[in-house]
């Protein structure tokens, strides 16, 4: 699926997202190439790139000239521009990982928590997030995502019976 830009005012966040995604998928990449790939003007891409650079989400690199003229600056994701924490809850325990913007796992931890009730699980998760984020003092955490087995309260959706974790009914 090709990413395509829009010129509508409400499309600004979308344009920003597709420029960042283009850099992530194809970097290092020049502004002109991004513009061609997503269907925006080079000026629009440059404006978005400036914002992303100011926020440290991307890095601009310029190669040494190999002949006449100056090569274009290429853009890539700044791995240390932000982090996410991924949480995985299972009937046996809880895993957590700190992930940089390039998708690299910086650190991961595991805590045994057999059939943890939601209150206990969230207490552990809070401590795990604090532990992981201390590893990158000053690094910004952009989000926390959580995965756990399911479906919940839908026995017919599992071939082996209910997959509900005890005590997690109606947890939102």
Cross-strand bridge partners of residue 59: 76
Number of domains in the chain: 2
**pLDDT tens per residue, range 93-106:** 999 999 999 999 99
Would residue 41 count as lying in a domain? yes
Q: What is the pLDDT of residue 70?
A: 80
Q: DSSP for 124-136, please give it.
A: HHHHHHHHHHHTT
Closest CA to 144 of 154, 152, 136, 132: 132
56 & 89 share domain:
no
Would residue 172 count as lying in a domain? no
- Structure tokens that stand for 110 in this block: 């595991």
Closest CA to 73 of 89, 58, 57: 58
Q: Please give the Cα distance from 137 to 105 (Å, whole number).
A: 16
Residue finishing a domain among 38, 53, 77: 77
102 & 43 share domain:
no
For the chain, what's the residue count?
A: 172
72 & 118 share domain:
no
How many helices (DSSP H) and strands (DSSP E) are in the chain? Answer: 4, 7
90 & 33 share domain:
no
Q: What is the CATH number of the domain that holds 24?
A: 1.10.10.10
**pLDDT tens per residue, range 111-158:** 999 989 999 999 999 999 999 999 887 789 999 999 988 765 566 655
Query: What phi and psi values does residue 123 have, to the nearest 5 degrees?
Result: -65, -45
Would residue 4 count as lying in a domain? no
Find the domain containing 145 and state its range. Answer: 81-157
Q: DSSP for 43-105, please give it.
A: HHHHHHHHHHHHTTSEEEE-PPPSSSSPPPPEEEE-GGG-EEEEEEE-SSEEEEEEEETT--E
Q: What is the CATH number of the domain that holds 93?
A: 3.30.420.40
Would residue 96 count as lying in a domain? yes
**pLDDT tens per residue, range 2-38:** 776 666 666 889 999 999 999 999 999 999 999 999 9
* Stronger pLDDT, 111 or 166, i.e. the higher one: 111
Cis check for the bond before 108: say yes or no (omega within 30 of 0).
no
**pLDDT tens per residue, range 48-82:** 999 999 999 999 998 777 778 788 899 999 999 99
């Amino acid at each position: 699926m090709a990413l395509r830009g829009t010129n509508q005012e409400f499309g600004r966040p979308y344009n920003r997202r597709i420029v960042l995604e283009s850099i992530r998928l194809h970097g290092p990449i020049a502004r002109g190439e991004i513009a061609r790939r997503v269907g925006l003007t080079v000026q629009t891409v440059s404006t978005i790139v400036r914002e992303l650079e100011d926020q440290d989400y991307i890095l601009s690199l310029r190669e040494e000239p190999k002949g006449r003229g100056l090569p274009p600056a290429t853009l890539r994701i700044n791995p240390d521009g932000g982090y996410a924490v991924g949480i995985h809850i299972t009937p046996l325990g809880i895993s957590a990982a700190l992930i940089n913007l390039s998708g690299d796992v910086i650190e991961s931890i595991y805590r045994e928590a057999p059939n943890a009730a939601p209150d206990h699980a969230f207490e552990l998760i809070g401590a795990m997030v604090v532990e992981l984020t201390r590893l990158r003092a000053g690094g910004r955490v952009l989000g926390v995502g959580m995965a756990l087995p399911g479906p919940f309260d839908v026995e017919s959706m599992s071939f082996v019976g209910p997959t509900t974790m005890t005590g997690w009914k109606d947890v939102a």
